[in-house]
Protein backbone atom coordinates (compact mmCIF):
# COMPACT_ATOMS: atom_id res chain seq x y z
CA UNK A 1 0.00 0.00 0.00
CA UNK A 2 2.69 2.42 1.04
CA UNK A 3 4.79 1.48 -1.91
CA UNK A 4 1.88 2.20 -4.24
CA UNK A 5 1.40 5.60 -2.69
CA UNK A 6 5.03 6.51 -3.19
CA UNK A 7 4.85 5.29 -6.76
CA UNK A 8 1.77 7.34 -7.50
CA UNK A 9 3.24 10.52 -6.10
CA UNK A 10 6.45 9.84 -7.85
CA UNK A 11 4.76 9.58 -11.21
CA UNK A 12 3.92 13.26 -10.86
CA UNK A 13 7.21 14.31 -9.29
CA UNK A 14 9.76 11.65 -10.11
CA UNK A 15 12.64 13.51 -8.40
CA UNK A 16 11.48 15.20 -5.27
CA UNK A 17 9.48 12.50 -3.55
CA UNK A 18 12.36 10.12 -3.17
CA UNK A 19 14.86 12.86 -2.48
CA UNK A 20 12.96 14.03 0.59
CA UNK A 21 12.84 10.48 1.85
CA UNK A 22 11.89 9.59 5.39
CA UNK A 23 14.74 7.14 5.97
CA UNK A 24 17.08 7.11 8.90
CA UNK A 25 20.06 5.32 7.35
CA UNK A 26 19.60 6.00 3.65
CA UNK A 27 19.15 8.81 1.19
CA UNK A 28 17.52 8.12 -2.17
CA UNK A 29 17.65 9.92 -5.46
CA UNK A 30 15.85 8.97 -8.66
CA UNK A 31 17.35 10.26 -11.89
CA UNK A 32 16.91 8.87 -15.40
CA UNK A 33 15.23 5.68 -14.15
CA UNK A 34 18.12 4.97 -11.81
CA UNK A 35 17.52 4.93 -8.08
CA UNK A 36 20.67 5.77 -6.14
CA UNK A 37 20.63 4.64 -2.54
CA UNK A 38 23.31 6.16 -0.34
CA UNK A 39 24.13 5.08 3.20
CA UNK A 40 24.13 8.16 5.41
CA UNK A 41 25.27 7.09 8.87
CA UNK A 42 28.92 7.93 8.27
CA UNK A 43 29.70 8.43 11.95
CA UNK A 44 29.18 4.69 12.37
CA UNK A 45 30.99 4.01 9.10
CA UNK A 46 27.76 2.91 7.50
CA UNK A 47 27.57 -0.12 9.80
CA UNK A 48 24.93 -2.50 8.51
CA UNK A 49 22.67 -2.83 11.54
CA UNK A 50 19.43 -4.77 11.32
CA UNK A 51 17.52 -1.48 11.11
CA UNK A 52 19.69 -0.30 8.25
CA UNK A 53 19.27 -3.58 6.36
CA UNK A 54 15.52 -3.46 7.01
CA UNK A 55 15.33 0.01 5.47
CA UNK A 56 17.39 -1.10 2.50
CA UNK A 57 15.17 -4.16 2.00
CA UNK A 58 12.03 -2.00 2.19
CA UNK A 59 13.36 0.50 -0.36
CA UNK A 60 14.41 -2.27 -2.73
CA UNK A 61 10.98 -3.90 -2.47
CA UNK A 62 9.41 -0.55 -3.29
CA UNK A 63 11.81 -0.12 -6.20
CA UNK A 64 11.03 -3.62 -7.44
CA UNK A 65 7.40 -2.71 -7.97
CA UNK A 66 8.08 0.75 -9.38
CA UNK A 67 8.07 0.90 -13.18
CA UNK A 68 9.92 4.24 -13.08
CA UNK A 69 12.98 2.48 -11.75
CA UNK A 70 15.13 0.41 -14.10
CA UNK A 71 18.22 -0.11 -11.97
CA UNK A 72 19.53 0.68 -8.49
CA UNK A 73 22.94 1.97 -7.45
CA UNK A 74 24.16 1.42 -3.90
CA UNK A 75 26.85 3.70 -2.51
CA UNK A 76 28.35 4.67 0.82
CA UNK A 77 29.80 8.05 -0.08
CA UNK A 78 33.36 9.14 -0.68
CA UNK A 79 35.18 7.50 2.23
CA UNK A 80 33.52 4.24 3.13
CA UNK A 81 31.05 1.87 1.54
CA UNK A 82 30.14 -0.06 4.66
CA UNK A 83 32.39 -1.13 7.51
CA UNK A 84 30.48 -4.27 8.44
CA UNK A 85 27.89 -5.26 10.97
CA UNK A 86 27.31 -3.31 14.17
CA UNK A 87 29.56 -4.95 16.78
CA UNK A 88 27.50 -3.69 19.70
CA UNK A 89 24.42 -5.26 18.18
CA UNK A 90 26.34 -8.48 17.59
CA UNK A 91 27.92 -8.60 21.06
CA UNK A 92 24.56 -8.28 22.78
CA UNK A 93 23.30 -11.51 21.26
CA UNK A 94 23.77 -14.97 22.71
CA UNK A 95 23.35 -18.19 20.75
CA UNK A 96 19.56 -18.21 21.05
CA UNK A 97 19.19 -14.58 20.09
CA UNK A 98 21.55 -15.09 17.16
CA UNK A 99 19.54 -18.13 16.08
CA UNK A 100 16.33 -16.11 16.16
CA UNK A 101 17.81 -13.00 14.57
CA UNK A 102 15.74 -11.81 11.59
CA UNK A 103 18.97 -10.88 9.78
CA UNK A 104 19.07 -13.83 7.36
CA UNK A 105 15.56 -12.93 6.17
CA UNK A 106 16.67 -9.33 5.66
CA UNK A 107 19.58 -10.48 3.51
CA UNK A 108 17.22 -12.73 1.58
CA UNK A 109 14.85 -9.86 0.88
CA UNK A 110 17.75 -7.80 -0.46
CA UNK A 111 18.98 -10.72 -2.54
CA UNK A 112 15.57 -11.25 -4.10
CA UNK A 113 15.53 -7.80 -5.70
CA UNK A 114 14.79 -8.59 -9.32
CA UNK A 115 16.30 -5.56 -11.08
CA UNK A 116 20.00 -4.86 -11.60
CA UNK A 117 21.76 -3.76 -8.43
CA UNK A 118 25.06 -1.94 -8.87
CA UNK A 119 27.57 -1.00 -6.18
CA UNK A 120 29.76 2.11 -6.33
CA UNK A 121 32.44 1.37 -3.75
CA UNK A 122 34.84 3.90 -2.24
CA UNK A 123 37.01 3.57 0.83
CA UNK A 124 36.36 0.14 2.20
CA UNK A 125 33.82 -2.64 2.16
CA UNK A 126 34.48 -4.88 5.13
CA UNK A 127 32.56 -7.77 6.64
CA UNK A 128 28.86 -7.32 6.03
CA UNK A 129 29.79 -4.45 3.71
CA UNK A 130 31.61 -6.89 1.44
CA UNK A 131 28.79 -9.39 1.77
CA UNK A 132 26.45 -6.70 0.51
CA UNK A 133 28.82 -5.97 -2.37
CA UNK A 134 28.70 -9.69 -3.21
CA UNK A 135 24.92 -9.45 -3.60
CA UNK A 136 25.28 -6.73 -6.22
CA UNK A 137 25.25 -7.57 -9.91
CA UNK A 138 27.91 -5.07 -11.01
CA UNK A 139 30.63 -3.59 -8.79
CA UNK A 140 32.68 -0.50 -9.62
CA UNK A 141 35.40 0.52 -7.17
CA UNK A 142 37.89 3.33 -6.68
CA UNK A 143 41.60 2.52 -6.84
CA UNK A 144 42.07 3.02 -3.11
CA UNK A 145 39.15 0.82 -2.11
CA UNK A 146 39.83 -2.20 0.08
CA UNK A 147 37.70 -5.30 0.42
CA UNK A 148 37.93 -7.66 3.35
CA UNK A 149 36.23 -10.14 5.64
CA UNK A 150 37.85 -9.40 9.03
CA UNK A 151 35.32 -11.47 11.02
CA UNK A 152 37.97 -14.08 11.85
CA UNK A 153 40.03 -11.48 13.73
CA UNK A 154 37.11 -11.09 16.15
CA UNK A 155 36.69 -14.78 16.81
CA UNK A 156 33.75 -15.15 14.47
CA UNK A 157 33.27 -15.76 10.77
CA UNK A 158 31.25 -14.35 7.89
CA UNK A 159 27.58 -15.12 8.37
CA UNK A 160 25.79 -13.52 5.45
CA UNK A 161 27.14 -15.37 2.45
CA UNK A 162 30.73 -14.20 2.78
CA UNK A 163 32.34 -17.63 2.65
CA UNK A 164 30.00 -18.93 -0.05
CA UNK A 165 29.69 -16.02 -2.44
CA UNK A 166 33.30 -14.85 -2.17
CA UNK A 167 34.59 -18.32 -2.98
CA UNK A 168 32.28 -18.52 -5.98
CA UNK A 169 33.33 -15.03 -7.09
CA UNK A 170 37.12 -14.85 -6.66
CA UNK A 171 37.97 -18.56 -6.52
CA UNK A 172 39.01 -20.84 -3.72
CA UNK A 173 42.55 -19.80 -2.82
CA UNK A 174 42.01 -16.05 -2.59
CA UNK A 175 38.68 -16.48 -0.80
CA UNK A 176 40.26 -18.86 1.70
CA UNK A 177 43.14 -16.48 2.29
CA UNK A 178 40.81 -13.54 2.88
CA UNK A 179 38.42 -15.43 5.17
CA UNK A 180 41.14 -17.19 7.19
CA UNK A 181 43.54 -14.26 7.64
CA UNK A 182 40.96 -11.49 7.72
CA UNK A 183 43.35 -9.39 5.62
CA UNK A 184 41.86 -7.12 2.93
CA UNK A 185 42.69 -6.86 -0.78
CA UNK A 186 42.80 -3.70 -2.86
CA UNK A 187 40.65 -2.73 -5.82
CA UNK A 188 43.15 -3.83 -8.48
CA UNK A 189 43.38 -7.30 -7.02
CA UNK A 190 39.61 -7.38 -6.57
CA UNK A 191 39.26 -6.46 -10.24
CA UNK A 192 41.64 -9.10 -11.52
CA UNK A 193 39.93 -11.68 -9.30
CA UNK A 194 36.50 -10.86 -10.67
CA UNK A 195 34.95 -9.22 -7.62
CA UNK A 196 34.99 -5.81 -9.31
CA UNK A 197 34.29 -5.11 -12.98
CA UNK A 198 35.99 -1.71 -13.30
CA UNK A 199 38.42 0.35 -11.24
CA UNK A 200 37.97 4.12 -11.47
CA UNK A 201 39.28 7.32 -9.94
CA UNK A 202 37.70 7.85 -6.52
CA UNK A 203 35.99 11.05 -7.61
CA UNK A 204 34.30 9.27 -10.52
CA UNK A 205 33.17 6.00 -8.93
CA UNK A 206 29.57 6.96 -8.34
CA UNK A 207 29.29 8.81 -11.63
CA UNK A 208 30.65 5.87 -13.62
CA UNK A 209 28.37 3.42 -11.82
CA UNK A 210 25.38 5.63 -12.45
CA UNK A 211 26.31 5.87 -16.15
CA UNK A 212 26.28 2.10 -16.40
CA UNK A 213 23.00 1.98 -14.47
CA UNK A 214 21.45 4.50 -16.85
CA UNK A 215 22.46 2.30 -19.79
CA UNK A 216 20.95 -0.75 -18.13
CA UNK A 217 17.80 1.19 -17.22
CA UNK A 218 17.38 2.20 -20.86
CA UNK A 219 17.17 -1.45 -21.97
CA UNK A 220 13.93 -3.39 -22.20
CA UNK A 221 12.92 -4.00 -18.56
CA UNK A 222 11.66 -7.54 -19.06
CA UNK A 223 14.76 -8.57 -20.98
CA UNK A 224 16.95 -7.11 -18.23
CA UNK A 225 14.98 -8.91 -15.55
CA UNK A 226 15.14 -12.22 -17.42
CA UNK A 227 18.86 -11.81 -18.08
CA UNK A 228 19.53 -11.09 -14.40
CA UNK A 229 17.52 -14.16 -13.46
CA UNK A 230 19.55 -16.29 -15.85
CA UNK A 231 22.82 -14.88 -14.49
CA UNK A 232 21.85 -15.27 -10.84
CA UNK A 233 21.14 -18.96 -11.14
CA UNK A 234 24.66 -19.69 -12.41
CA UNK A 235 26.11 -20.74 -9.05
CA UNK A 236 22.94 -22.66 -8.17
CA UNK A 237 22.55 -25.00 -11.12
CA UNK A 238 24.56 -27.50 -13.16
CA UNK A 239 25.28 -26.25 -16.67
CA UNK A 240 22.65 -28.43 -18.37
CA UNK A 241 19.94 -27.07 -16.06
CA UNK A 242 21.22 -23.53 -16.45
CA UNK A 243 21.14 -23.80 -20.24
CA UNK A 244 17.60 -25.14 -20.10
CA UNK A 245 16.46 -22.27 -17.88
CA UNK A 246 18.25 -19.77 -20.09
CA UNK A 247 16.45 -21.10 -23.11
CA UNK A 248 13.09 -20.89 -21.35
CA UNK A 249 13.68 -17.27 -20.34
CA UNK A 250 14.88 -16.55 -23.88
CA UNK A 251 11.68 -18.02 -25.30
CA UNK A 252 9.59 -16.08 -22.84
CA UNK A 253 10.94 -12.81 -24.19
CA UNK A 254 9.74 -13.79 -27.67
CA UNK A 255 6.26 -13.03 -26.41
CA UNK A 256 7.07 -9.45 -25.42
CA UNK A 257 6.30 -6.26 -27.35
CA UNK A 258 9.66 -4.81 -26.40
CA UNK A 259 11.49 -7.57 -28.26
CA UNK A 260 9.64 -6.64 -31.43
CA UNK A 261 10.36 -2.97 -30.78
CA UNK A 262 14.04 -3.65 -30.19
CA UNK A 263 14.46 -5.54 -33.45
CA UNK A 264 12.37 -3.01 -35.43
CA UNK A 265 14.39 -0.12 -34.06
CA UNK A 266 17.62 -1.90 -34.98
CA UNK A 267 16.56 -2.35 -38.61
CA UNK A 268 15.18 1.17 -38.97
CA UNK A 269 18.29 2.58 -37.27
CA UNK A 270 16.47 4.43 -34.52
CA UNK A 271 16.51 4.34 -30.73
CA UNK A 272 14.02 1.80 -29.38
CA UNK A 273 11.17 2.95 -27.14
CA UNK A 274 10.57 0.22 -24.61
CA UNK A 275 7.28 0.01 -22.74
CA UNK A 276 8.12 -2.78 -20.35
CA UNK A 277 5.69 -5.23 -21.86
CA–CA distance, 37 with 196 (Å, rounded to integer): 19
Q: CB 143 → other proteins: shortest distance, Å?
A: 10
| Region near other proteins per CB under 8 A, out of 27-35, 39-47, 176-184, 200-208 | 200-208
- The full length of the chain comes to 277
Complex with other proteins: residue 48 or 196, whichever CB lies closer: 196
CB of 207 to other proteins, least distance (A): 8
**CB nearer to other proteins: pick between 19 and 204:** 204
Min separation Cβ 76 and other proteins, Å = 20
Element (H, E) at 64: helix 50-64
Looking at 182-267, list the stretches that DSSP marks H as alpha helix, in order from N- to C-terminal side.
187-193, 205-217, 221-232, 239-253, 257-267
By CB under 8 A, is residue 183 in contact with other proteins? no
Q: Which stretch binds other proteins (CB under 8 A): 96-104, 108-116, 167-175, 195-203?
A: 195-203
Nearest to other proteins of 203, 231 (CB atom): 203
Distance CA 227, CA 1 (A): 29
Among residues 19, 78, 87, 201, which is the contact residue for other proteins, using CB under 8 A? 201
In whole angstroms, how close is the CB of 142 to other proteins at the nearest point?
A: 11
* One of 163, 200, 209, 256 touching other proteins (CB under 8 A): 200
Evaluated on CA atoms 198, 139, 263, 269, the torsion sign reads negative
Nearer to other proteins, 202 or 253 (CB): 202
Determine the interface stretch with other proteins among 48-56, 158-166, 198-206, 258-266 (rule: CB under 8 A): 198-206
Least CB distance to other proteins at residue 101 (A): 40
The candidate with the shortest Cα–Cα distance to 56, out of 126, 170, 135, is 135
Whether the CB-CB separation of 205 and 120 falls below 8 Å is answered with: yes
Return the number of the residue (24 or 207) whose C-beta is nearest other proteins. 207
Site string for other proteins, 203-232 (x = CB under 8 A): xx----------------------------
By beta-carbon proximity to other proteins, the closer residue of 87 and 204 is: 204
Minimal distance, residue 80 CB to other proteins, in Å: 19
For other proteins, the closer of residues 124 and 274 by Cβ is 124
Distance in Å, CB of 208 to other proteins, minimum: 8
Pick between residue 46 and residue 200 the one whose CB is nearest to other proteins: 200
How far apart (Å, rounded) are the C-alpha atoms in residues 116 and 120?
A: 13
Interface contacts to other proteins, rule CB under 8 A: 200-201, 203-204
Amino acid sequence: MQAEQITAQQAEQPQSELASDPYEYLACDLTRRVLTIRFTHYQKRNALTNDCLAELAAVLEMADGDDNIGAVVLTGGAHCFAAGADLNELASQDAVATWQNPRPQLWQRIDSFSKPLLAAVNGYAFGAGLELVLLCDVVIAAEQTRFGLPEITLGLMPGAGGTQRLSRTVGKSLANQMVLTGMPIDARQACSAGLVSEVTLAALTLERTQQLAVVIASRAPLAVKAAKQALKQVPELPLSQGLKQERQLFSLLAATQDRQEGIDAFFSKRTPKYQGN
